[in-house]
Amino acid sequence: MASAKILVVDDDPAIRNLVYRFLSKQDYEMESAEDGKSARAAFDQFNPDLVILDVNLPDANGYDICQELQARTGVFVLLLTSRSDEADKIRGFNQGADDYLTKPFSLGELEVRVGAILKRQRPVTMAEQQRLIFNKLAIDPVRREVAIDNEMIALTALEFDLLHFLASHPGRVWRRAELIQKVWDYEYVGDQRVVDVHIGQIRKKIELDIAQPAMIQTVRGVGYKFEPPQASMDDAPL
């Protein structure tokens, strides 16, 4: 399998070069940019699998760049910031970021986060290729597409993974820590409200009434479960 391509965008040359050199040694194909303008140009030419993106760029807002790049290809985005405020992290996730690292960070933690994100690129197994049909909701794990009543629903990569995981275990209640371990694929260090943020984003896109969600239900004091309107699955392989 070809090595993943990673674009690192940071106006601090020390951080940019350190991340570039470190991940190059992990056999990733690397490119770098120092601001929003050069990031856009590099993105178009390089077509990365993952963008490691500083929030504070001299000519652009990193949150806006994140949303813009994901609108083009659905690329994975790992945000870097010197801000430790939880509100900033929630804003990043709301903009579609797949993960978030606060400066200063260790290279070991960066390696784990990058590896966990890129694992979502792995080919799905035969068992995971089953197309899930719940009433008017269709989830296609091969094409990574979600549709309601044949209308495509735009989800970020992480939103898709979270919805697909919950829908693959209808009726089962999952704690936030379990969802982080299963979907994020590592021991997340930080506020577990990150799960709530992504659940909220998914609900906005698939639920008829966000105030009373029918499919992704909150189990107070525990976590979340997927409750299909009709428990009928189309198990025929694609």
Q: pTM value?
A: 0.64
As annotated, the residues of the chain forming the CATH 1.10.10.10 domain(s) are 127-226
pLDDT band at 189 (very low <50, low <70, confident <90, very high): low
Identity at 71, one-letter amino acid code: A
pLDDT band at 121 (very low <50, low <70, confident <90, very high): low
Q: Give the whole-angstrom CA distance, residue 196 versus residue 176.
A: 8
Cβ atoms of 58 and 13 within 8 Å: the answer is no
| Mean pLDDT on 72-79 | 86
- Structure tokens given for 35: 């601001």
Q: Distance between the two ends of the chain, CA-based, in angstroms? A: 23
CATH of the domain spanning 127-226, picked from 1.10.10.10, 3.30.420.130, 3.40.640.10, 3.90.1640.30: 1.10.10.10
Q: Beta partners for 77?
A: 51
As annotated, the residues of the chain forming the CATH 3.40.50.2300 domain(s) are 5-121
List the single range of 24-33, 119-128, 180-189 with lowest mean pLDDT: 119-128
Q: Give the whole-angstrom CA distance, residue 141 versus residue 197.
A: 22
CATH 3.40.640.10 fits 5-121, yes or no: no
Q: Nearest 5°: phi and psi at 125?
A: -75, 170
Give the percent of the chain with pLDDT over 70.
Answer: 87
